[in-house]
Amino acid sequence: MITKFKDFINNLLPNLFSKKKNIKLGIYGPPNAGKTSLANKICEDWLGEPLGNVSVIPHETREIQIKEKVTIKSGRKSLTFNLIDTPGIATKIDYEDFVKLKMKKNLAKKRAKEATKGVIESIKWLDNMDAVLVVLDSTKNPYSQVNLTIIGNLVARDIPVLIVGNKIDLKKSNLKKIEDAFPQYNVLGLSATKGHNIDDFYKSLFKLVK
């Protein structure tokens, strides 16, 4: 009887705590680093459907996108979270950059305005996150004001961070440069579109979201 009671309590307590709140996992980073590609990969792998559109033109994601109750599994463990894909954070948004990519002027201006709104929205949501994946393009220089500011602010807020160096399938990829730029943080390389190193990524998520 006592054993059964103990089992009951042992089963009940973790469930109580796990249902205490929904874990919010945010995806942050500069534009075109592959945040939505990674969100899509996670959702396709575990829910069988993508989260949002991706594009070669920067600032495709201009509103917060949420997929609730994503459950991933590794062996006997499982982890459930709300996945929150955020608009890319940039310090300069110029419609002329979109026009150069063959976008019509009025649409480019609209995109610039919405992208600016998106940056503000991303920042406003930061405090709501329980853990954050900072997605960086491993073919680009990681030493940027945006990257340093986002990561610095997450740490200052005690929000657990995993830096994801995306696009490792590309020739120009240099993950070591990201590791050198952020030596005190966990850095994991992957390719969201090709799925390279995705299993290690899921294992890292369990460590990130405890």
Partner 1 sequence: MYPDGSEELLKGCECGSKFFFFIKKEKLNEVEELVSNLTTKDKTEIEKDVKDIIGIKNEDKPVVLDLESIKILKPGQYEIDVVKLLKDKMLIYRLEDGKYIIDLNSTFKKEKDL
Decide if 112 contacts 94 (C-beta within 8 A): yes
Closer of 2 and 16 to partner 1 (Cβ):
16
CB of 116: closest distance to partner 1 in angstroms? 5
Straight-line distance from the first to the last Cα atom of the chain, in angstroms, rounded to the nearest whole number: 32
Closer of 20 and 172 to partner 1 (Cβ):
20
Rounded CA-CA distance 50/33 in Å is 17
Pairing of strands 24-28, 65-74: unpaired
Q: How far, CA to CA in Å, does 148 sit from each of 88, 98, 101, 136?
A: 14, 25, 28, 11
Rounded CA-CA distance 3/23 in Å is 32
Sign of CA dihedral 29, 127, 200, 19: negative
Closer of 138 and 147 to partner 1 (Cβ):
147
Residues 18-37 interacting with partner 1 (rule: CB under 8 A): 21-22, 24
Sign of CA dihedral 207, 163, 189, 179: negative
Residues 42-101 interacting with partner 1 (rule: CB under 8 A): 66, 68, 82, 84, 89-96
Asked whether position 209 contacts partner 1 by CB under 8 A, the answer is no
Asked whether position 153 contacts partner 1 by CB under 8 A, the answer is yes
Q: Pattern of binders to partner 1 over 95-134, x per CB under 8 A?
A: xx-----------xx--xx--xx-xxx-xxxx-x------
Closer of 90 and 205 to partner 1 (Cβ):
90
Which position has the token pair 């220089």? 141
Asked whether position 185 contacts partner 1 by CB under 8 A, the answer is no
Closer of 109 and 196 to partner 1 (Cβ):
109
Decide if 90 contacts 30 (C-beta within 8 A): yes
CB of 68: closest distance to partner 1 in angstroms? 7
Closer of 79 and 188 to partner 1 (Cβ):
79
Site size with partner 1, rule: CB under 8 A: 34
Sign of CA dihedral 163, 168, 173, 177: positive
Binding positions for partner 1, rule: CB under 8 A: 21-22, 24, 66, 68, 82, 84, 89-96, 108-109, 112-113, 116-117, 119-121, 123-126, 128, 145-146, 149-150, 153
